[in-house]
Structures are given as structure tokens and as C-alpha cells.
């Protein structure tokens, strides 16, 4: 703020040795330059503030992406565990059905195996429902993760545009 005022005072002193028309032109040129500098400073200040706001928003969104990524990974892990358990139950069920189909068991043993088959079928149905529910949760987590990533990308693009605008303001003369 003091530099432009100093420049004006120096110019006014310099202008005293000039003709009145040249002094007015010189003073007007200096005032125009000061005005342009002020506009540039104001523009850079506003752009810098916007960059700071965008950076803060990006940090918040980065945290949201990290949280949604953790939820997605947890859902995937849970679904994989449920699917592995369901596959084991299915393998046990098929093994026992094969054993019953061969017909080589005693009647008492066959009754026990049939009860085990009924229990395994019930467990299989329960595991299938739980696995499907988990897959829905995983799909929702994936959708949220993608939404959060898109928002983060949008903020990064915004910061890049603001950076370019600041660069252009800085190179303008």
C-alpha cells in the first residue's frame, strides 16, 4: 500500500519539471497502473481464498473416500467369508446326499444322516439369504465409494482450474 503512494509522490515530484500536459498524462498513467495492480491483487486474493476453500473441501472429501473405501472392503470381506461358509455347507450337503444315494448305510445311520441333511439344507437356505443381503450391502457400499470418488475428482479438477487461473493472473502484466 505504501509503495503505490510512494510511486505517485515520486511521479508528482518528477512531473513538476514537465509541462502540465505531460505531467497529467504521467500521473494518469501511474494511476492506471496502480488501479491495474490493485485489481490484480484483488483477483489473486479471491482466487487464493477459493483455492483454500477447495483444498479444505478436498481434504474432507478425501476422508469420506477413505471411510467409504473401508466400508466397501469390510463388506467385501464379510461377503467372501459368508460365501466360503456357504460353499462348505454345500459341499457337506452334496457329500451326505451322495452317501444316502449309494444306499450302503444301515437304517439307524441313514436316519441320522437324513436329519443332518435337513439341518444342512436349513443352514444352506439361511446362508444363501445372508449372502444375498451381504451382496446388497456391498453394492450399496460400492455405489457410495464411486460417488465419493467422483466428488473428490470434481474437487481436484476445480483446484486445477483455480491453479491455472492464479497462474494466468500471475503472468499477466
Ordered domains of the chain (ranges, CATH): 2-171 (1.10.287.1490)
Compute φ and ψ for 103, nearest 5 degrees. 70, 20
Q: What is the pLDDT of residue 147?
A: 97
Q: Which of 65, 75, 72, 89 is nearest to 156 (CA)?
A: 65
Look up residue 105 and give its DSSP letter.
S
Q: What is the pLDDT of residue 67?
A: 97
Read off the pLDDT of residues 81-121 as tens digits, 9 standing for 90 and up. Answer: 999 999 999 999 999 999 888 888 888 888 898 899 999 99
Distances from the Cα of 33 to the Cαs of 8, 26, 27, 126, in angstroms? 10, 11, 10, 79
Read off the pLDDT of residues 117-149 as tens digits, 9 standing for 90 and up. Answer: 999 999 999 999 999 999 999 999 999 999 999
Average pLDDT over residues 62-76: 97
Q: Which of 2, 26, 50 is nearest to 158 (CA)?
A: 50
Amino acid at each position: 500500500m505504501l509503495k503505490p503512494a510512494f510511486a505517485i509522490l515520486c511521479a508528482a515530484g518528477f512531473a513538476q519539471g514537465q509541462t502540465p500536459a505531460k505531467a497529467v498524462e504521467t500521473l494518469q498513467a501511474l494511476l492506471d497502473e496502480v488501479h491495474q495492480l490493485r485489481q490484480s491483487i484483488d483477483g489473486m486474493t479471491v482466487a487464493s481464498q477459493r483455492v483454500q476453500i477447495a483444498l479444505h473441501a478436498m481434504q474432507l472429501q478425501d476422508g469420506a473416500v477413505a471411510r467409504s473405501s473401508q466400508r466397501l472392503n469390510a463388506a467385501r470381506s464379510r461377503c467372501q467369508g459368508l460365501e466360503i461358509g456357504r460353499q462348505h455347507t454345500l459341499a457337506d450337503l452334496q457329500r451326505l446326499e451322495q452317501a444316502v444315494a449309494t444306499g450302503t448305510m444301515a437304517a439307524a445311520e441313514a436316519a441320522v444322516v437324513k436329519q443332518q441333511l435337513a439341518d444342512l439344507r436349513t443352514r444352506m437356505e439361511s446362508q444363501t439369504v445372508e449372502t444375498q443381503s451381504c451382496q446388497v450391502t456391498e453394492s450399496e457400499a460400492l455405489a457410495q465409494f464411486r460417488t465419493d470418488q467422483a466428488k473428490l475428482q470434481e474437487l481436484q479438477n476445480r483446484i486445477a482450474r483455480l491453479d491455472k487461473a492464479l497462474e494466468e493472473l500471475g503472468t499477466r502484466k
